[in-house]
A and B are shown apart, each in its own frame.
Chain A
Amino acid sequence: MNSNFFEVLRAGINTTYQDHGRFHMQHFGITPGGCMDLKSFFIANALLGNNSEEGVLEFAYQGPLLKLVKGEAKIVITGNVTFQIIKTNNEKVNGECNRSYNLKEGEQIDILATKESVYGYLAVEGGFNLKPFCKSVSILARAQIGPNEGKKIKNNDKVNFKRNSNNEKNFTTNVINEKREIIRVMQGSQFNFFSKQSQNNFFKKHYKITNLTDRMGMRLEGPSISNIVSANIRSEGITKGAIQVPADGQPIILLTDYPTIGGYPKISNVISADYHVLAQKVPGEKVLFKNVELREAEQLYKEHLNNISETIKNIKEIN
């Protein structure tokens, strides 16, 4: 049993282990969870030659400061993140995202901040050494499910990884920044719960992302959406990206750690191809919703996956 590990000198904000998510459990009330930005997740693992579903560390706004106490590691950071590698002689090297680095015993990695985005990811070659719950290593902190006793990473924790990195080769790829104001959605069967005026506003006016935003949901602020049928519906199963409107008329987008069942009517649902773009928006940013039909949403998702495949195909060795 090897015991390679990092020590957490500073935990960062909302630092948790995540993977692609935990499925076949929603009927128990267990939400799929997983990385908020799955594109960054897949690219991180691909750059290290990992299994595509290997768990990573996700952080929000500020990442952790980790010291490699035992072993050698090859790491990658994805997203849009400022970070430094601190050598044993205290020399600081500015890091680049979407590029692998070799770390020697005693070196530190200081993940300072995400830039114009919320989430960043740290992956290690071979993966972190984690005990899955129901086939996933995603932490659901509010239910204390997943590795690390289901808790966020805190100072002095040990971050164990599976194996020493034994090659000096490093890899990089070019990732297109998809920042955009327009978020495409599909109307659902409850679209007609809302007044014509509200329906028009929803697609023509901007909605601002508020501070009341986390892995579970994103509260928006904008023209009030008035309900002409009923502000309550029979509680029903939720889908990631559902945009529900409670009686106060301000929409809430249900994100990755969504409640599995909800009782507010939904005006629309964010399409799969745009979800990662939405999840990376910071409070204060504005969004403009655009309606698309099912066929188009399916086509856009296909293009999104092709884009990720292309990015992975273009991974190159650094000379």
Chain B
Amino acid sequence: MRKFIVFTILTGIWSISPVLGQNPVFITQQKGPILYFHVANDNVHTTADVYTLSGKRIARVFDKIVSHGDYSFNPFAGSNLPQQMYIVRLTNGTRTESISMMNLGNTSISKSNLNPNQALSAKLAKVASDNKVPTNIPGVFTIAAPPQGFDPVTAKDVDLAYYGFPPRPDSSISPKGFAAWKKGVTLSKTRIMPILKQTNLHYSPMQTTSPNWCGIVAEPHNPFTHAYGDNGCVYYLYGTFMVPVAQQAHGSCTGNWDYGASWLGIDGFFNHPVDLLQSGIAFDAYCNGGVTYTSYYAWYEWVPAAAVSIQNVTITPGDVIWIEVWSTSATEGNVYVSNANTQQSFYIDFQAPPGTQLLGNSAEWITERPLLSNGQLATLTNYTYVPFWDSYVWTFGGSTYPFSDPYGFGINMVDASNNVISKQGLPGENSVVTEAAGPALGGNYFYDPW
């Protein structure tokens, strides 16, 4: 061991120097003052302690529940320890490894892969799991109402998670974004225990041009260079929209159902990977003999699985809906949906379909026509308008970014003949208005301005 220390000091190469433990598999490398390690499993309680070379423990420098991924930290950051050699001991679940490191003083870390929000989200997932209740679909969970007087605005992060509330954004970074979240989590007085029903509708990733999506996609910088949980990746998004009136195109009464939905989701825009975590409101219209029947319901979905509807939550035109979608790992999704008019809300925790992993390289607010069970695109409901407002996306790094270029992509929807059937407009940084157009509105019925 002494030889090794001499060697590293002489050459300036800081490499792995396990002095305790049998299998040095999770400390991956050391560069300068930064220690890197890998965690293979989720929800692993990980600690790091600094020891003198004589084996006396001086300080605990890392204490977090983390999910699988790569982490790094400076064990001596912020400490006033003398600049000399120490032993840093990592305990990761049942395994312990140690490494000898020189304290280089208060070296600032310009960029760290250690992501506080990712670590926090994993911790919160563990906390929430203690309060989860199974639903009528295996593997899908919900959480009951918090106790009387519980205030989600002032509650601790762990209590928010325990009671099925979405993570809280930083008010200092975006006061308006925080105010929107605050409004969203305080709307509801009645937590619904959802009764779920599997549908055969698929709200799908965006097809190019696009025949199925209309709305706004916000993407982080360099959407192709991130891994799940990186600072630049989408952690959560939320927004408010108003449920439209479902009707068929003016002048039409087809004897069939038209379909439409507005939703918020993560991924599904860039081709790789083809996953999409989403939750929204469906507004479908059937017309026969001049009489229109409508269907409104809330749903969630993780592509490539089909949508699951919530049977016991009331949705009607004009309802103001607040939705937040977030992940607690690459394979665990969460949605919180609140209806301002009925004051009902629900929380759902669900797993990715087998083989699917979230990446978090896009966030979107979309009005869509789904794929029916026969694989065909539905006829879009004439929904007139769906305005979205108070719409924010937050990254694991704790930042939020607006819809304006280069982060936002406005998308119009077209039919098979390339007519625009749904258009989007951006009235501001955190708002998008989608509107039925052309044949979906009843273009042939009008002096068609499109």
A binds B: no
